């Protein structure tokens, strides 16, 4: 028998299909489990703890893509070995744990991050709570974002109005010692960019409430200095006439639709 014949006998045909192994099955199953976890996240509404409702189409596309990749991996298209499988498992298990483990988002300044409240950027009518005769604006919890945007964009229209609003106390170095923020949480895209936003409140330093506590502020809308004379900027402030602790923390965060 010639050397050429021996080599031909020992080599498999070029078009021989790859045999799928246990590593391929595990990889396919893990990808399908991740797709199922995202599906449950959408169905339960818990996705709101991570992204805004605007992200739903992207999540659906991600589920479909993961399902396709899972089937392909199960069939051995993305052949892997036990030695390389750990990389896939590391990428899959970490987000799955975040989705499955319960979040304690109902306390503190977050106010329950599994509830999203849209701030319409095209609304023309004023939100509820306006009393023109008395020149007061009583801001409901779910109207916080809408009223903040409206007053911030047209301060002259509401100058001199008395505003009653509930928010958590935010104190930072950009404000003067006698100022604090009456804030709520705003999410632009995902939980990583969630930040506080709201009204700058002016009071006396002795009356400053505890940071991160929830308060109801009654104050007059005016243009003023936010920060000090040397380090600050001109903007809208609420000159407080009363600051009272709030018994309950409003739920939900805001996003611009």
Q: What CA–CA distance (Å, rounded) separates 144 from 182?
A: 10
Cβ-contact 92, 31 below 8 angstroms: yes
Q: Going from the first residue of the chain to its last (257 residues), give the mean pLDDT of each consecutive group of 10, the final group possibly shorter.
A: 46 54 90 93 87 91 95 88 85 82 55 77 85 97 96 94 97 91 93 92 92 96 90 92 93 91
What confidence score (pLDDT) does residue 11 get? Answer: 47
- Which residue stretches of the chain are H helix? 3-10, 22-44, 56-74, 82-100, 144-153, 155-158
Structure-block tokens of residue 86: 């750990």
What confidence score (pLDDT) does residue 90 get? Answer: 86
Q: What are the extents of the domains in the chain?
A: 17-100, 116-256
Query: Please, what is the end-to-end C-alpha distance for the chain in angstroms?
Result: 77
Cβ-contact 131, 137 below 8 angstroms: yes
Which homologous superfamily is 116-256 in?
Bacterial OB-fold (2.40.50.200)
Cβ-contact 181, 171 below 8 angstroms: yes
What confidence score (pLDDT) does residue 103 get? Answer: 61
What confidence score (pLDDT) does residue 3 get? Answer: 47
Cβ-contact 253, 184 below 8 angstroms: yes
């Amino acid at each position: 028998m010639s050397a050429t014949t021996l080599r031909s006998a020992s080599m498999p045909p070029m078009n021989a299909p790859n045999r799928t192994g246990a590593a391929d099955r595990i990889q396919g199953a893990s990808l399908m489990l991740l797709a199922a976890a995202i599906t449950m996240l959408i169905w339960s509404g818990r996705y709101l703890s991570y992204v805004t409702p605007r992200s739903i189409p992207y999540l659906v596309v991600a589920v479909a893509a993961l399902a396709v990749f899972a089937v392909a991996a199960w069939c051995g298209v993305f052949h892997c070995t036990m030695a390389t499988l750990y990389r896939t498992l590391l990428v899959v298990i970490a987000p799955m744990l975040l989705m499955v483990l319960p979040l304690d988002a109902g306390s503190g300044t977050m106010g329950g991050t599994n509830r999203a409240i849209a701030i319409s950027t095209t609304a023309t009518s004023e939100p509820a709570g306006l009393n023109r005769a008395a020149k007061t604006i009583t801001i409901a919890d779910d109207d916080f974002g809408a009223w903040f945007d409206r007053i911030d964009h047209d301060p002259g229209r509401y100058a001199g109005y008395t505003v009653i609003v509930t928010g958590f106390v935010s104190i930072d170095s950009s404000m003067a010692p006698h100022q604090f923020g009456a804030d709520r949480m705003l999410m632009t895209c995902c939980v990583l960019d969630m930040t506080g936003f709201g009204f700058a409140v002016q009071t006396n330093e002795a009356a400053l409430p505890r940071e991160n506590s929830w308060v109801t502020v009654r104050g007059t809308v005016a243009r003023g200095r936010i920060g000090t004379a040397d380090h600050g900027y001109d903007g809208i402030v609420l000159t407080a006439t009363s600051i009272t602790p709030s018994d309950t923390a409003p739920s939900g965060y805001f996003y611009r639709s």
